[in-house]
Structure 1
Amino acid sequence: MLFYWFLKFVAIGPVAKLVFRPRVEGREHVPAGGAAILASNHLSAADWIFMPLSLRRRVTFLAKAEYFTGTGLKGRLRRAFFSAAGQVPIDRSSATAAEGAIRTGIEMLHQGRLLGIYPEGTRSPDGRLFRGKTGVARTALETGAPVVPVAMTYTPRRGPLGRRLFRVSVRFGEPLDFSRYEGLAGDRFVERSITDEIMYEIMTLSGQEYVDVYGATVKKAMDATGASAADVVGRLQPPADEAGDRAPETLAG
């Protein structure tokens, strides 16, 4: 835990603030204590740095297990880094693994933690906001934790010596209370409705165009065909709710 605060206030935090000058709005919407879910869009591998950096409270993310299983010196260093930073490893390879990830997130919230979730399940392939997976809704319903929508945005700017940098903005929306659905965890229609409400709030905060297709599906098709994200999306139909809809929302993908 000490390493987490060292990274935040000594090693990474001051440099990130100096170079990228992040702007923060709506910080008051994040509860000062107790369990809450931070549901964010996912544009960059750096999202997990700038969002926690804008808060006094510690944020726990569910990180993909590959970050903890590397070999050699690089693998050991990466494993030590993510473990010390308080990230929790999960397996994302199956529906069973997805259920395990949800249970892990629920456990974290029962401990009163601030849990960071990326409902899209992977980084956006083209900067747009993609369909959310319903694990975030299930987690909220089973814990009663409020969901705070979060929008990360990156605006290009010129840095010293003409270098291309980004101005980072983090916007926290008002907490969403889903207590009106108490007892309905497991109802896929309710969970889809909640997830869509969360994604709408993220879209409103971020100003992104919304695409009703899973980002992971688009990435897979892009890898297989070499087509652009726009071409792939144009050929896909909005997906039906399936077991894979609950795939875990993790640190990065």
Structure 2
Amino acid sequence: MKRVLVGPLLRVLFRPWVRGIENIPGDGPAIVASNHLAVIDSFILPLVLDREIVFIGKSEYFTGTGLKGRITAGFMRGVGTIPVDRSGGKASEAALRTGLKRLDEGGLFGIYPEGTRSPDGRLYRGKTGVARLALESGAPVVPVAMVGTDKAQPIGRRIPRPMRIGIVIGEPLDFRRYTGMESDRFILRSVTDEIMYSLMSLSGQEYVDIYAATQKARLAAGVRQTGGPPSTAAPGGRPAPDVQVPEPPQDLPGASVD
């Protein structure tokens, strides 16, 4: 219901353009793995899909106080976000099991492999939870690059500014060749790096080979590093793909492509 009410407003404000929508399976389970640039990622992506999608989201979105907290919690539930305790342990395991249940039911499950929003627009090292989901479920992984949401809603900005936002959807990745190997940490890292490489290729982002949460902690502690944090060319130590940040289609001013 919230999507029906809010969807038209979001379309007017952000005029989303989409490439590769045909890569979303018409039915059956699939893991939608996206880069994460802003809170509104979880609002815009469901808006352009014909199928319902649910996400994992940090539990803080559901525990805020006051009017803002209640609105945020209600909106997160409305777009199908599943709360997860980012401190790890049993709570995170429960969230993964919830994802597996969703996939077992034949639905779409969205996940941000970086685990948190990028602090500076770059693509950070992926966590292996997405690989576990893929190997344990056998579902394909559809990589998705959000484009421009960090410009519309930089970290610290509560209300996003109206502007065009893009979504680039890549071809599904099949990892069934690794079935039964979900306990092998080297396989999990390899699968995760392959997913992140695909996201890098779609988004044109610079890759940083540390976790986004680690970089956020360094920034919060006032740690400054000349030239930024250590980086590598691409996930898994591969050469960086020769790509650029996608541009919106050259259509008429104010037109929407979705």
TM > 0.5 between the two? yes
Task: Give me the whole-angstrom Cα distance separating, in 2, the residues matched to 1:35 and 1:142.
Answer: 12
Partner residue in 1 for 2:83:
89
Does residue 93 of structure 2 align to residue 99 of structure 1?
A: yes
Task: Give me the whole-angstrom Cα distance separating, in 1, the residues matched to 2:102 and 2:57.
Answer: 13
Partner residue in 1 for 2:221:
224
Does residue 7 of structure 2 align to residue 25 of structure 1?
A: no
Task: Give me the whole-angstrom Cα distance separating, in 1, the residues matched to 2:5 and 2:226.
Answer: 39
> Tell me, which stretches of 5 or more residues in structure 1 are unaligned?
158-163, 237-253
In structure 2, which of residues 176, 191, 195 is the aligned counterpart of residue 194 of structure 1? Answer: 191
Partner residue in 1 for 2:4:
9
Deviates more, 1:107-116 or 1:65-74: 65-74
Task: Give me the whole-angstrom Cα distance separating, in 1, the residues matched to 2:226 and 2:148.
Answer: 20
Q: How many residues align?
A: 224
Partner amino acid, structure 2, of 1:182: T
Q: Which has the higher helix share?
A: 1
> Tell me, which stretches of 5 or more residues in structure 2 are unaligned?
153-160, 233-258
CA RMSD in angstroms comes to 2.4
The DSSP-based 3-state class of the residue aligned with 1:225 is coil
Q: Output aligned runs, 1:27-106, within 5 Å.
A: 27-106=21-100
Change (3 A) 1:135 1:79: same
Partner amino acid, structure 2, of 1:210: Y
- Does the CA contact (< 8 Å) of 2:209 and 2:230 recur in 1? no
Quote how far apart the aligned CAs of 1:227 are. Answer: 3.1
What percent identity do the matched residue pairs reach?
Answer: 54
The DSSP-based 3-state class of the residue aligned with 1:170 is strand
Q: Deviations over 1:148-180 (max 9, x none)?
A: 0000111879xxxxxx75321101100000011
- Does the CA contact (< 8 Å) of 2:32 and 2:108 recur in 1? yes
Does residue 170 of structure 2 align to residue 205 of structure 1?
A: no
Partner residue in 2 for 1:128:
122
Q: State the TM-score, normalized to the length of structure 2.
A: 0.79
Quote how far apart the aligned CAs of 1:69 are. Answer: 2.4
Quote how far apart the aligned CAs of 1:85 are. Answer: 3.3
- Does the CA contact (< 8 Å) of 2:42 and 2:79 recur in 1? no
The DSSP-based 3-state class of the residue aligned with 1:145 is coil
- Does the CA contact (< 8 Å) of 2:82 and 2:95 recur in 1? no
Partner residue in 2 for 1:184:
181
Quote how far apart the aligned CAs of 1:74 are. Answer: 4.1
Quote how far apart the aligned CAs of 1:106 are. Answer: 1.0
